């Protein structure tokens, strides 16, 4: 992956996601008592969450991300929040902060031990610092045979237990571990420790379950892939127009893994910075919901079930009544 300012990852155009993000920001602000403190977000994207956190918690912030881009309308200037357009690395170990935040970035990092160790070096002897990570839950991916959640941008995958073991190994005490967003994401709170700490949280005990899920995953995922191939090709053969709702990584993995071409007409995405582009690998157009008025769909496949209600409301507002299903 070439992460640059051309990279577009924001989910904040969704009301469903925004409500979740605001609630998480309030939780972090309260748990980490960030009022009057300084927060560093590694992998801040376009800065939406950092702004929300600092506003709700009364903190100052610094965001680091090679993909940060100041876009008119979503990136208003604020003197108490600064951004560095770069990858986080050894050059930033000198930074002084009261809390480190890292959301949906660890899974993009190849050498996770080196990455977490650098954060531990940065915190030094400041035992009161908080380190908060949010990462997709790989255990759910295995349990649901969700092959569309295994894709080109992610080079590392974590269950809650693997996530916590990594941080305990690198000198952090994991104080809280939870599953959020319909159990799709891991949120972990940790603090620097003088050495390795003992696992004590219920979600950490998942190694045997992960082994069982991994053993049965190949057969289960083949059955799921066959189901979707047959469902979509039958719809196409019957003359039904099929679209995916969501033009991000899940859609790319879904289309490329199932080797779908003309069977799917387009991918719909509410993020205006994705519209007018094309999905990598398959070249499907990414369109706005309003574009469906010209060519109404018969079958809409939602790439994340948590958005089903939001998608249904959007289609209803356009006076469209296609069949809607979720992966």
Report the distance separating Cα 144 and Cα 213, nearest Å.
10
Comma-separated ranges of CATH 3.40.50.150 domains in the chain: 15-208
Report the distance separating Cα 190 and Cα 325, nearest Å.
38
Q: List, edge to edge, every strand of the sheet that includes 266-268.
A: 286-287, 266-268, 242-245, 299-302, 323-326
Q: In the chain, what percentage of residues exceed pLDDT 70?
A: 96
Listed in order, strand segments (DSSP E) in 96-152 are 99-103, 130-136
Across 228-233, average pLDDT: 98
Mean pLDDT for the chain? 94
Give Cβ neighbours of residue 24 (< 8 Å, ≥ 6 apart).
Answer: 49, 134, 180, 187
Q: State the architecture of 15-208 in CATH terms.
A: 3-Layer(aba) Sandwich (3.40)
Report the distance separating Cα 141 and Cα 326, nearest Å.
15
pLDDT per position as a tens digit, 136-192: 999 999 999 999 999 888 999 999 999 999 999 999 999 999 999 999 999 999 999
Confidence at residue 195, expressed as pLDDT on a 0 to 100 scale: 82
Confidence at residue 152, expressed as pLDDT on a 0 to 100 scale: 84
DSSP output for 69-125: ---TTT----TTEEEE-S---GGGTT---SEEEEES-GGG-S-HHHHHHHHHHHHTT
pLDDT per position as a tens digit, 104-138: 999 999 999 999 999 999 999 888 999 999 999 99
pLDDT per position as a tens digit, 89-100: 999 999 999 999
Report the distance separating Cα 68 and Cα 47, nearest Å.
7
Give Cβ neighbours of residue 283 (< 8 Å, ≥ 6 apart).
Answer: none
Across 271-298, average pLDDT: 95
Confidence at residue 79, expressed as pLDDT on a 0 to 100 scale: 74
- Distances in whole angstroms, Cα of residue 314 to Cα of each of 67, 279, 310: 29, 22, 6
Q: State the architecture of 240-326 in CATH terms.
A: 3-Layer(aba) Sandwich (3.40)
Confidence at residue 18, expressed as pLDDT on a 0 to 100 scale: 85
**Residue 84 neighbours by CB distance under 10 Å:** 17
Confidence at residue 221, expressed as pLDDT on a 0 to 100 scale: 98
C-beta separation of 317 from 293 below 8 A: no
C-beta separation of 186 from 177 below 8 A: yes
DSSP output for 197-208: ----SGGG--HH
- Rounded to the nearest 10 degrees, the angle between the axes of helix 48-57 and helix 15-31 is 50
pLDDT per position as a tens digit, 6-38: 776 667 677 788 898 999 999 999 999 999 999
Across 272-283, average pLDDT: 93
**Residue 325 neighbours by CB distance under 10 Å:** 12
Dihedral-angle region of residue 148 (phi above 0 means left; psi in -120 to 50 means alpha; beta otherwise): alpha
Comma-separated ranges of CATH 3.40.50.720 domains in the chain: 240-326
Residue 75 pLDDT grade (very low, low, confident, very high; cuts 50, 70, 90): low
6 vs 247, higher pLDDT: 247
Residue identified by tokens 């289960």 is 220
Confidence at residue 2, expressed as pLDDT on a 0 to 100 scale: 76
Residue 4 pLDDT grade (very low, low, confident, very high; cuts 50, 70, 90): low
């Amino acid at each position: 992956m070439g992460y640059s300012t051309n990279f577009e990852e924001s989910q904040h155009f969704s009301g469903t996601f925004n409500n979740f993000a605001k609630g998480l920001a309030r939780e972090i602000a309260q748990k980490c008592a960030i009022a009057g403190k300084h927060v560093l977000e590694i992998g801040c994207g376009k800065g939406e969450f950092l702004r929300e956190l600092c506003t709700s918690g009364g903190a100052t912030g610094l965001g680091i991300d090679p993909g940060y881009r100041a876009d008119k309308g979503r990136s208003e200037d604020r003197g108490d929040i600064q951004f560095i357009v770069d990858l986080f690395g050894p050059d930033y170990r000198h930074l002084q902060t009261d809390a480190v935040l890292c959301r949906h970035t660890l899974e993009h990092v190849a050498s996770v031990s080196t990455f977490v160790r650098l954060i531990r070096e940065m915190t030094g002897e400041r035992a009161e610092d908080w380190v908060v990570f949010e990462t997709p839950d790989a255990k759910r991916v295995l349990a649901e045979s969700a092959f569309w959640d295994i894709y080109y941008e992610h080079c590392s995958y974590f269950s809650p237990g693997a996530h916590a073991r990594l941080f305990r190994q690198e000198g952090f005490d994991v104080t809280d571990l939870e599953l959020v967003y319909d159990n799709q994401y891991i949120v972990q709170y940790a603090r620097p420790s003088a050495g390795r700490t003992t696992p004590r949280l219920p979600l950490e005990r998942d190694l045997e379950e992960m082994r069982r899920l991994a053993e049965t995953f190949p057969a289960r995922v083949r059955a799921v892939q066959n189901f979707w191939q047959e469902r979509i090709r039958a719809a196409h053969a019957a003359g039904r127009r099929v679209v995916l709702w969501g033009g991000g990584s899940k859609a790319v993995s879904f289309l490329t893994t199932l080797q779908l071409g003309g069977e799917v007409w387009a991918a719909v995405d509410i993020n205006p910075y994705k519209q007018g582009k094309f999905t990598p690998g398959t070249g499907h157009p990414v369109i706005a919901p309003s574009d469906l008025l010209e060519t109404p769909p018969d079958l809409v496949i939602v790439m994340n079930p948590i958005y089903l209600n939001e998608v249904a409301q959007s289609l209803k507002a356009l006076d469209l009544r296609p069949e809607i299903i979720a992966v």
